[in-house]
Structures are given as C-alpha cells and as structure tokens.
Structure 1
C-alpha cells in the first residue's frame, strides 16, 4: 500500500509540475485598441485562429487577451460593418504585447454608395436624403420573375394588382398609388406615363447590383412623377460583373423564369454586359372556380446590354439599352387568340413592345460636367373584352449637370429637357365634336440647383430648387430642404426633409380600370397638375453588442398634403369612373420602423412595419382612400450553416384591411378586405463557389382573396343586366344585387401555394 501511495504521489507531483510549467510558459498576453478613422470600434471580436482563445473590445475599443501560449498565431479582428483584419504575431515566453488594430469600413455591408438622394455617388451615411438600399442578395431570399414582385418584402412599398383578369399592377409607396412613384434605371428616368404599368417587369435580375428607394417627393432633382418617391434600379458595372451569371427556376404552377448575364470586351477600351430574361407561364388554372384564369398567362422576353468605355483620366461614359416584348392574357378558361377583341368569349389580351436607351457621358473638361440622356418607345396593343386600347408613346430626355465644390459648399446644378409624344384611340387624344385624332405632345424644359453645405462634421444642410415649364400647364416651382445630423461615432443619424412635388396625370396610361370597358369614363373638368408638400423625419441608430451582434434601427415619420389630386370616383355611379381634380385635400401620414439584427452565428433578421393613414376630405366629408391599408409589416429571416453551405430564408408580409370598390349599396361583397399575409420559405445549398441549388414554397398559408372578387364573372358582357333610362342597373331575380361585370375589386393575388426549384451558376 505504501509503495502504491508513493507511486501515485510521484505521478501526481509530475502532473502538477507539468501544469505549473505550462502555466508559467503561458503567461503571454495581447492588449491594445481597435479603431477606424481614428475612432474607437466598440465590441469588436479578437481571437487566435486555430484556438479557442478570444475576447471582445470594450466600448472604447480597448481589449486584453490573456493566457496566450507561446508560438506564432494569426490574430483575427472583426466587427460588423468593417473588413476583417488578419495579422500574424509571434508570442515568446512571458511576453506582454501591445498591438493596435486599424479597421477599414466595409461599404458593402452597412454603408453603401447611393446616387438617388443627390444625383451623385455618395455614401449612404453621408447622404442628407434618407435612401434605403436593397442588394441583390436581399431579393434572392425570395426569388421572383420581376422586380415588381420582389418589392413585396420592402417596408412601406407594396406591389398592387389593379385587375383580377390581366394582373396589371403598380407600386404603392407609403400608401400613395403607382403613378406617384418614379422608376429609374441607373439614375435615368426611363419609366413614365404609359410604361409605368410595365416598366418594372423584364429587367434581368442577374444584372441588378442594388435597388435604391427614396420615400417622399424628389421633384427638385427628378421633376414630374417623383411625388410619392422613386425606385432606382442600379445595374452592375461591366468591369465588375461576373463573366457568366445564370439564374433559372420553375414552379409547380408551370412558371419558368431564366436570367442569363454575360460580360465581354470589345477591344481594350470597351467592356460590355449582356443580359437576357425569359419568363413563361402557359398553364391556365381556375382554383376559385369563377370561370376565369387565376393568374395571367405570360410570354415575355427582355434583352439588356450595357457598354462602359475606358477614357482618359477615368472619365465616365456608359450607354445601355433594353428591349422588352410581352404577350399576356387572362380571361375565361376557354378563351383563345381567335376570340381577341370579340364579344363571344371574354379575355383581356395585351401585346407590349418597348425599347429604351440611356447613358451618361462626362465631358472632357477640368470641371465635373456630365451629360445624361435617355429615350424610350412604347407600343401597346390591348383588348379588354371587345374594347380596344391602342397606344404609342415616345419620350426623349437629356440633362446636363455641373458639380463644383467650393469650400464647405458642394453645388450641383443643371438643365434638363423632356419631350413626350403620346397617342391612343381614347378621348384623351381626340378633339372637337368629330373626335379628330390629336396626339399629345409635351415639352418640359427645366433647371435646378442644389447646395449641400457641410456646416461642420456632424451637420449638413441641403437646399434645392427646381423650375420646370410644362408646355400645356405653364411653370412649376419645386423647392426642398434637407438637414442631417450625425453623432461623432456615426452611430446615430437624424435627417429632416421638406419638399414639394407635382405631377401631370394621364388616366388612360395609369389607371387600368379606365380601359376595361366595364365602366364608362367621365371627365368633369380639364385635369390640372397635382401638387403636394411632404415632410419627413428619419432617425437611424446602429448598436454593436458584445458577441458580434449588430442591431440597426431606422425609424421615420412622414406627412404628405395634396391639393388638386386626381382620384377616380367609383362610388357616385357604379357604372362610371368619374375623374376630376379634388375639390378639397388629401393627406398621407404615418410612421415606419425597420429593424436589422445580425448575429455572429449566421442568423440575420430584417423586419419592418408601417402604420399609415391615407384620407381624402371633400365637401365636408372625410373618408379613407381606396385600396390603401392602415398597416403593413414585412420580415426576412435568414440563417446560414457554414459547415454545410446551407442557408434557410423565411420571408413574408402582413397587410391590414383596405377599403374596396364595391358596386353600390346592394353589392353584398365586403367593403373592406380582411387581414392577409403571404409567407415563403427557401433553402439554398452552395456547391463550391460557383453553383447554388435552391428551392422552397411560396404562399405557405395558401392565402387567396374571395372567389367572388370578379363581379358577375359568368356574364362578362352584361348581356343579362337590365338598365333603366338613366343607365342605372335595375335589380332583377337574376341580378338581385344590381351588379355589372367588374374586375376592379382586387387587393391580393389569386395565386395560391406552390413549390419552386432553381439553380444559380456564376463564373468570375
């Protein structure tokens, strides 16, 4: 026993001696401060690669890492919003090292470059105008055939379907209807008037770098139509795009979408980027049993090409072009092209052909002077039952801007000119008692100036003024003012803005209901331009927590007051749409909040909500605007399992009740929509750096609107409707609710649950 005890004691002593020896030799330490631009980076992570040793900096950027073994290690320093820094350090016995680390901000994460707020490239943080930026990765969490549908997951932005039959739609921003939103590609206003309806479809998503959204009037810089806000689609630079990018997916409903992008060179000084998008849906489905297609059938192709020219002193010259052709139809299930335009079988068939070109050329001068230009042509051949709508539109736009920095003043000034030609077969382009054809031609010259004043590093003031002369309506002045304050560490940013907007309306190009033939169109007076005043308060806060957790808060309050607003009146007479300038006022007001949370373990959550009130006051009566929700919520949650190369995305939206256009007092359909939600889930698997396979389920809850959304779908030509001498519907045993055929009672898509599967291939 004694011998055994002696042996055990001996081994215990050896183990203790080894432990003490290791402890003595492990008393190395590393300390220092982590900064960026001479400012501390709080709660950054520091660890030794290949070990379990790590720590976090405090709120002053200081850190201390103890018990470091001797040897050579790679020290990794990381923080959300900054590029990860790696440095090799050798530790000797009992050495206390002091090393300071300087991190570089990573604009690709939190501080993207934006152009929409001030018409020039600035960091999102520095912009005095609040600009929301959504990268291509954001939209990949819920792949769709077009940007129009992708915007359903952006807070305060809602794709609105305007027809149950042909699925024509527009984009609502903060409750304001589609015509109040300007759409741009690479900063050029190529979408307006007739093309507003279709301008967001057919843009190859494989070529999209990011989407910038400004909420509220931007008329000082962009002129007419930027009343509710603007959506700027930024395409990739040819020199920075992948050599080949492919994205193809299909759904269980039979939809097929293909995006292909190719980068190429023409000689040594010309880089090109070619993109092709093809979408096809040819499978008529009628799950709600109303006799009509639930979803419009489509055959669409879009070709996009962009050139970038290398010039002396890196001056800019890019030019791009796009062509879109679409054949879409919806209607009774037995409709065929031979019935197009007739009154035997009801169908809505639309042929759209559109081309556009746009670019920017920096003049070879010492001063920064740019010439921006765009042109587009749009031909539409549509039939709505036996009602035809034939239209042509051509728009030419040119703009010369000069940017000059004078001390604390960053001045941007310019002149612009827009030419618009519009012709159709409606009363909009007819004159005289004999309705002689009279195409509308509008000249719109304008000039603007803005001065961005850096009062000090924390305070910026932006003053802007624009004057346009509309050849039909005269001069229009649109001023605005923006103010930005940021804290010294840029973790808190406050922006205030007040602006004025105006818009010249053409109801036949903007309101699908005016075309269907289901109601007569009535103009009470000549329509005058709409004007609005908007105020916006925006506060952004960035929070960095221990453990590499980042929280971003973006809160806004908005108020827009309209005068002369043009709203369609569906309610005075259920058989008519009456258009006139509002003899009163309209107000859109509300608050919104976006929350971004990034965890170090790969979980990312983005959620937002907008509470709004859009009301109209006229003749002492106050009421809610049609098809406008009081609440909208969106969310996107993604989790990446790096060891498996697997990402899971859960996206969705939630909408509150909207007031709906019912057909008179006897219409038994609800006046308001219910709460409704569209939710989706997707799983993405990476195979190496170039190939992705993804799939999932859209509309998990299988939500669809009521099956009676189309009034009298069984009698689309009103053959069995009885009218009195005043043109009013007479209730009969066959029509007790005094209804006529009407597809405008629509608030949500009819497409139910469906699976999808796709792949992406990228070659750099």
Structure 2
C-alpha cells in the first residue's frame, strides 16, 4: 500500500511539473501577413520571445497552469489573454493595427521596408515628433536638427553666402550621400548650393546610416547617407500654417496640406524664406547673406488597389543669395566698396514611384526622377553660369522566402553639365552615365541571429567598373540587447564641383579631372544597443565603433599659376572613431547625451590630420512637457580639437540653445527659441578676412559666425473632420 501511494504521489508531481511547448503564429488582421519580430511574453514566468520571419514564436519548457499572456508589435494594438497549458495546437493570433500610424517606424533606406529593430544595419531615425518640433524652431532648414547629433558636424563653408556641408565620421562632405525619398537629387553641381535648405514641415522622418552604404545606393555613400522621407496623406485631412521671425531678420512662411481619398491622395508644401544681410561682427562684410528662397512641393498619390501605390511629385526651389560688402548691399558700389558674391539658382525635380505589394510577400518598386539645376554664381573676377541635368531610374524587387529577405535591382543614373553662353569660366561640359545592379539577402538564421550579404556592380562611362561587396550581422541574445557588425566597400568618382576641399572656392579651381583615378573605400562599423523599460522609465544606450579607409585620395594642390588642381595623392585617408549616446525618458522628461571621438587623418604622417574635422564633439538635449500644453528644452554642444592648419588647432567652443513651446488648444502653438545663447563666435577670436575692404581674402570658417539668434514662430494645425 505504501509503495502504491508513493507511485501516485510521484505521478502527480510529474504531472504538475510537466514541461510544455507553446507555438504561436502572429499575423496582421488587415493584410493577414506574418509579423516578424512580434513579441509574446508571459510576465508570471518572466519569459519573452520574438517571432521569426514567418511570424512564429516557440516557447519551450513551460510548466502546466493558467497564465496571462501578452502579444505586442510596433504599429499594432497590444493583445492580452488568458492561456491554459498544456495547449496542443498552434495558437493563431491576429493583431489589429494601431490607431496612430506614426508609432510604426518602418525604415525605407535599407530597401526591405522592415522595422528598425529587425535590421542588421544600424539606422538612426529622426521621427515625426522631432521634425514637428523642428518646424517651429528652424522652419527654413534641417541644419539645426542634424547638428544636434554628436556623430554629425555641420560646417559653414562661407561667411559671405552662408553655405554649409554635412560631415559624417570626420570625413569631407562629399563622402556623405543625401537622398530625398531614396532618390539622389542632390548630386554634382547642386551639391554645394542650398542642400540644407530643406524645410522640415513636410518630412515624415530622416534616416541616417553611419558608414559605408554604397552597396545599397552606389558611389558616394562612403561616410554614410541621409535620407529625407516625405510625409504621406492619411484619411484625416491635415492643414498646417506656420509663420516665423528671427533677430537675424529671417522671415519664414510655410504651408502644408495633406488628404487621402478612396483612390487618390495629395500632399502639398509651399514655403518661403526672406532674410536680409547681417554683419554680426561689424567688420563691414555680411556674416549672414541676403536670401530670397521659395519652395513648392506637391505630391499626388494614386491607389489602384489596396496593394498598389503610384506617386507623382514635383519639387521646386528658387533661391537668390547675395553677400559681401554691407555698403554695397545696402546702397551701391563705389571705388572703395566693390566686393559682392551672388548665387542665383533654381532646382526643379520630378519624381515617379510605383509600389506593388504582392500577396506572396513580394514587393516591386519602380522609381524614376529627373532633376534640373541652374546656377548663376558671380564673384569679382569670376563667374560660373551653368546648367546640370540628372536622371535616376531604378527597379527593385523584395521577396520574403522562409527565413530569407531578398532584394535585387538595377538602376541607371545620368549626370550632365552644360555651360551657358554668358559663362566665362574654364569649366567644360560633361556627360556621365552609370548603370548598376545589386542583390542583397537578409538571412534570419535563428530568432536571435541575422546575417546579411550584398554586392553591387556599377559601370561608369568614364571610370569603368566598380564592385562593392557588403556583409553584416546582427545578434540579439536577449530582447533588450542587440549587437551589429557590418563591413562594405565604396567609391567616389572625381567631379570638380564636389571633389574640391570645402575650403577652396570654385573660382580658385582648375576644372580638369582628366587622368584622375576614382577614390575607393572600405569600412567597418560595429554597434551595441541596449534598450529597456521599467515602470515609467525608458533607457537606451548605444556604443558604436567605426573605421573607414579611402584610397586614391583626391585633394586640391596649388599650382604655379595660382590655381588649385585636383590630384590623386600618394597617400590615403582614414577615419577611426567611436560614438556613444544615451537616451533616458521618465514620464514627460527626456534626456539625450552623445559623445563622438574621431581621428581622421592622411596616412603619410600620423600628425597630418584632415582639416576642419573636430576630433571631439559632445551634444545633449533635455526636454520636458507639461500636460500637453507646455514643452521646454535645453540643448548644448561642445566642439573640440579641430585642426585648421596642419599644426594649428581652432579654439574649442560651446553652443547653448533653449526653447519653450506653448500649445493653445488643439490647433495653435507658439515657440520661442534661442540659439547660441552665449554669443560664441569665431569673429571674437580672429578677423574673418585679411587684406582690405576692396580686395578681401576671406579666412576659412571653423566655428560659429551668426552669433546669438532668437526666433518666435506661430503654428496653426487643423485635422479636418
């Protein structure tokens, strides 16, 4: 009898502690497609599991019992339910899309249209909230928002015309590729004129890839790429109007309208920036140019079916910049007061994109763009009058097959420059074309490990063939931690309009690029990201390391005739760095802090540093919101160890800014913003030009020149019912 009781007790114990397996398949309720990366959690057991590429999550070794289970996926409503184990069948769950589309962060730049968490390549995203806030702080351009990131340095290249470039990883601006909706419309001649004059009001998000992305988009994306993604219309119409005025005599007026009907949709942006010239440091020359800028960006959407989208867009910018001697700008030329620079330009681009999402998880994208850029640039003893016409056409296909996410495509790019009759410069006409093919595979080996391989082959009409392989890995040992490693190759063909050092004017350049070899690069990037939430706290820390090597480095070399000629150097360029940032949120309080350390130099001498590339940059932003009515922020940045001559450093400097926003009801908001609060300026340390006022020789710009700026904006938004 005792033996029988012992056996019964043992059987009961085994039954109680029997281990079970739960298999869950998660799909979307509207498309019925699997949701790769959806998470199922059992809080009582502290277990969380992510679904694989087929939307399937398997949890083993679960004890029998009743459990409260939760399913979640970005952009979809969370679902909770009770579950009794053992459960012998596969559990099928359909998630409902969330009411707010903005919660779903889908990345466009990697061509697979996956969530940011499901990518083997690290992508930084400035989302809808940041852009909406920036539209009230700096309505006319994106320079301020991009410059907030520690890894990006915005360099002013002219104290007269106010032009700027974007530096990534300490490298010259020509190695960073700028895209608009995945299209390269800022190439060649128009690279150096107004590329940051992109208003944020009609942007949905900005995607930043640090490190080589040439395998995805061809030559030029050596240091990285920045992709400006336009808004799309929603069922609820939106109308936004914005007015802004600053102490630098800058006036902005922007308008945005969007609406989607059953089979069609429309977004429309129209804006203008009117600014008078300013001499901040009282040296007789403008530190801020006279600017007249007009933007128009309508975009039409056609939806033949629920799975097809056709967009047709136009983007036009007309700009007139004029700077120089303030007496001439305000009155007229005299024998003593002569110097002015003018840059009149207009950019017109048309783009067409077709997207077809097939029921078999396939996605076909066909896109094409044509961009016409006219420039009339006039300086004393120099004028450039030219026209550039670029085209870009691409077809790509993305297919999810089991654990693989495949992309293949072909693209064709043309670039032509034609001098106008009135041009007196030595620049010559040219006509280039490039054809490229690419293939990429994201292999979800396990739920925790992704491997990506890709290769591109480009043929350039002047510089021949380029093969660009790339490989990347992502490992997610736990839900909160991800580790990414990627390596790739890139190239940049010589072009006198984009290859010159940013401190050498076009007027000082010989136009020939004959007998030059293309620059070729290879780079490696690694980052570790940890993100977690507990109660009302949210914490993210990211640590990135990178290395880029550029061979056949092209630099301007001073010739005996006093002009600079582009020349392949007998040495190479390399950039090694680390970037760290922390994001902390507690309720309505948000904190960002980032630090970047980069050593960029030429290989012929360990002390031959790349000029105007800060080796250290710290940036932080603190924001707080009160009941949705008040929002306030404090921003700071420190720039240090920047060489302006081979043996001379620029002074380190701080930048401070603050803003306060008041929301009045549902529609109206006021923003008071202050930039460079302590009036840090290069002009306080040294003159900005040498020589005399009749024949000035402007010195390179390494720091801030605009001084303290206060602006007030009024924004009215109405979501029409």
Q: Does residue 636 of structure 2 align to residue 652 of structure 1?
A: yes
The match for 2:245 is 250
Say if 2:115 is the partner of 1:123: yes
Counterpart for residue 712 of structure 1: 690
Within 5 Å, give how 1:328-347 maps onto structure 2: 328-336=321-329, 345-347=338-340
Q: TM-score, normalised by structure 2?
A: 0.82
Q: Which residue of 2 aligns with 1:633?
A: 618
1:391 correspondence with 2:393: no
Shift of residue 501 of structure 1?
0.5
1:273 aligned onto 2:267: yes
2:458 aligned partner: 468
Secondary structure, aligned partner of 1:150: helix
Q: 1:588 aligns with which of 567, 570, 575?
A: 575
Q: Tell me if 1:763 matches 2:721.
A: no
CA drift of 1:637 comes to 0.7
Closer, same or farther in 2 for the Cα pair 1:650/1:480, shift >3 Å?
Answer: same
Is residue 604 from structure 1 mapped to residue 590 from structure 2 by the alignment?
yes
Post-superposition offset of 1:554 = 1.2
Following TM superposition, by how much is the alpha carbon of 1:652 offset from its aligned partner in structure 2, in angstroms?
A: 2.5
User: 1:162 touches 1:744 (CA, 8 Å); kept in 2?
Assistant: no
**Superposed displacement of residue 574, structure 1:** 12
Give the superposition deviation at 1:587: 0.8
Note the C-alpha offset of 1:240: 5.9
Q: Which position in structure 1 is the counterpart of 2:105?
A: 112
Does 2:171 match 1:179? no
**C-alpha deviations, 1:290-347, integer Å up to 9, x for none?**
2101211211011001111111242121121100000011101112499799996101
1:703 and 2:680 correspond? yes
CA distance change for structure 1 residues 229 and 716 in 2, over 3 Å: closer, same or farther? farther
Distance 2:651 2:97 in 1: 45
Distance 1:759 1:527, change over 3 A: same
Give distance in 2, aligned partners of 1:327 and 1:429: 20
* Distance (whole Å) between structure 2 residues aligned to residue 134 and residue 358 of structure 1: 23
Q: Take 2:462 and 2:119, find their aligned partners in 1: how far apart are those partners?
A: 35
Flag the structure with larger Rg: 1
Are the aligned partners of 2:690 and 2:699 in contact in 1 as well (CA < 8 Å)?
no
Which one of 310, 317, 320 corresponds to residue 303 of structure 2?
A: 310
Change (3 A) 1:210 1:341: farther
Cα 1:228–1:86 change in 2 (3 A) is closer
Match among 682, 686, 702 for residue 747 of structure 1: 702
Alignment of 1:47-196 (within 5 A): 112-116=105-109, 118-141=110-133, 143-144=137-138, 145-196=140-191
Deviations 1:263-311 (A, max 9, x none): 246x7422111101211111x3323222101211211011001111111
Task: Give the direction of change, closer, same or farther, for the CA distance of 1:78–1:472 in structure 2 (3 Å limit).
Answer: closer
Do the aligned residues in 1 keep the contact of 2:383 with 2:424 (CA within 8 Å)? no
Structure 1 residues 368 and 84: alpha-carbon distance in aligned structure 2, compared to 1, 3 A threshold = closer
Q: Distance in 1 between matches of 2:325 and 2:230?
A: 39
C-alpha spacing 1:260/1:241, structure 2 compared with 1 (3 Å): farther
Partner of 2:668: 691
Residues 291 and 230 of structure 1: is their aligned pair in 2 closer, same or farther, counting only changes over 3 Å? same
Aligned counterpart, 1:37: 39
How far residue 641 of structure 1 moved from its aligned partner, in angstroms, is 1.5
What secondary structure sits across from 2:643 in the alignment?
coil
Which residue of 1 is the match for residue 21 of structure 2?
Answer: none
Shift of residue 624, structure 1, vs aligned partner: 0.5
Deviation, 1:754, is: 2.4
CA distance in structure 1 between the partners assigned to 2:72 and 2:354 by the alignment: 39
1:679 aligns with 2:656: yes
Equivalent of 2:477 in 487, 505, 513: 487
Structure 1 residues 241, 301: closer, same or farther in 2, change over 3 A?
farther
In 2 relative to 1, CA 467–333 (structure 1 residues): closer, same or farther, beyond 3 Å? same
2:66 paired residue number: none
Deviations 1:683-742 (A, max 9, x none): 10111222111113211111110354433252453xxxxxxxxxxxxxxxxxxxxxxx43
Task: State how far apart, in whole Å, the 1-side matches of 2:204 and 2:581 are.
Answer: 22
Q: State the Cα RMSD in Å.
A: 3.5
* One of 315, 323, 326 as aligned partner of 2:316: 323
Contact kept in structure 2, 1:321 and 1:358, CA below 8 Å = yes
Cα distance, 1:651 vs structure 2: 1.6
Judged with a 3 Å threshold, the aligned counterparts in structure 2 of structure 1 residues 380 and 634 are, in CA distance, closer, same or farther, namely same
Inter-partner Cα distance in structure 1 for 2:458 and 2:77: 49
Matches within 5 A, 1:280-291: 280-282=274-276, 284-291=277-284
Corresponding position of 2:374: 379
Q: Partners of 2:469 and 2:78 in 1: how far apart? A: 45
In structure 1, C-alpha distance between the alignment counterparts of 2:661 and 2:570, rounded to whole Å: 53
Matched, 1:350 2:343: yes
Runs (5+) with no aligned partner, structure 2: 1-25, 27-37, 47-61, 63-69, 81-93
Structure-2 separation of matches of 1:460 and 1:140:
34
Q: How far off its partner does 1:557 sit?
A: 0.1
User: Structure 2: how far apart are the matches of 1:154 and 1:110?
Assistant: 22
Whether contact under 8 Å (1:152, 1:653) holds in the other structure is no
3-state SS of paired residue (2:572): strand
1:375–1:746 CA distance, 2 compared to 1 (3 A) = same
Q: CA deviation at 1:516?
A: 5.4
Counterpart among 488, 506, 528 of residue 517 in structure 2: 528
Structure-2 change in CA distance of 1:689 and 1:585 (3 Å): same
Indicate the SS of the match to 1:500. strand
Q: Give the distance between the partners of 1:494 and 1:677, measured in 2 at CA.
A: 33
Quick check: 2:392–2:411 contact (8 Å CA) kept in 1?
yes
- Structure 2 contact 210–225 (Cα < 8 Å) conserved: yes
